[in-house]
Amino acid sequence: MRFSTIATLAAAALPFTTAYWTGFNVGANNNDGSCKSTADWTTAFNKLKGLPQHITSVRVYAASDCNTLANAVPAAIATGTQILVGIWTEDSTHYTNEKNALQAAINAHGSDWIIAISVGSEDLYRGDTTASTLAQQIYDVRAYFQNAAIADASNTFWQSMDATRTQVNAVSPGKWVWVTETGWPVSGPNSGAAVASVQNAQTYWRSVACACFQQVHVFWYAYQDSSASPSFGVFGSNGNAIYDLYGC
């Protein structure tokens, strides 16, 4: 299944503290495919605030798609939510639109709502860009599938995390590693020994999320994606949590 995506952050907008950012990935589309309005973003942010963990941090995948920042930032400010902003870089037009949307949001609302900016989250490993191009774009912006059974999922996650930290520290000692996507599907096809189910998603939440929230900057995958297969959404199309989130 999509087990974990671990990435170093491209550019941080706020200084690090001893606390960890703990949030959810939230897509710009509603379940029917329509773009989230500011009211829709407000509903999503308030639902996350209402969780036992009082989540007030989110990651968005893009700045311009579906007017993400134009609609989400007012909702974030109104609800006391902060955003890890994703910037797509796979082609020059999209990248320019992304950068312009980010700049427009900062011009309109300042930057206190920004946790950090992630440039080219998946573009490099997909082959959509080159390392040199991405490095320049990161500078310009600056202002898994692991077929593990649920019984092995926690160990696999932390082994991946430790390996990533080791590699990052070898290149640039002291840099933080942020987990920008991790979760377990509630439905959909299996992948090797990994079985998609509500029970397994709850087990993964209790064995991984609860520990992550105390040790890692992490954004859970995902708030809602009931139309996808596999589906990792924690909230169903009725707006209710699919499994018990009280384990932490």
* Residue spans per domain, the chain: 4-220
Q: What is the pLDDT of residue 134?
A: 57
Q: What is the pLDDT of residue 143?
A: 40
Q: What does the alpha-carbon distance between residue 98 and residue 93 come to, in Å, rounded to a whole number? A: 9
Report the 10 Å Cβ neighbour count for 190.
13
167 pLDDT higher than 70: yes
Least confident range from 48-52, 146-150, 152-156: namely 146-150
Q: What is the pLDDT of residue 126?
A: 62
Q: Which residue has the higher pLDDT, 93 or 127?
A: 93
> What's the one-letter identity of residue 54?
H
* DSSP H helices in the chain: 38-49, 68-79, 92-109, 123-126, 131-141, 150-171, 198-204, 210-215
Q: What does the alpha-carbon distance between residue 90 and residue 122 come to, in Å, rounded to a whole number? A: 9
> What's the one-letter identity of residue 127?
G
> In terms of CATH, what superfamily is 4-220?
Glycosidases (3.20.20.80)
pLDDT band, residue 5 (cuts 50/70/90)? very low
Residue 25 phi, psi dihedral angles, 5° rounding: -75, 130
pLDDT band, residue 165 (cuts 50/70/90)? confident
Q: What does the alpha-carbon distance between residue 180 and residue 122 come to, in Å, rounded to a whole number? A: 11
Contact (CB, 8 A) for 12 and 143: no
Report the 10 Å Cβ neighbour count for 159.
13
Please, what is the average pLDDT of the chain? 85
Instruction: Record the pTM.
Output: 0.81
Q: What is the pLDDT of residue 226?
A: 83
Q: What is the pLDDT of residue 121?
A: 60
Beta bridge partners of 119: 87
23 pLDDT higher than 60: yes
Q: How confident is the model over 200-214, as a mean pLDDT?
A: 94
220-234 pLDDT tens trace:
999 999 889 999 999
Report the 10 Å Cβ neighbour count for 157.
24
> What's the one-letter identity of residue 94?
H
Q: How confident is the model over 110-127, as a mean pLDDT?
A: 79
Structure tokens at 222: 């995902």
Q: What is the pLDDT of residue 175?
A: 86
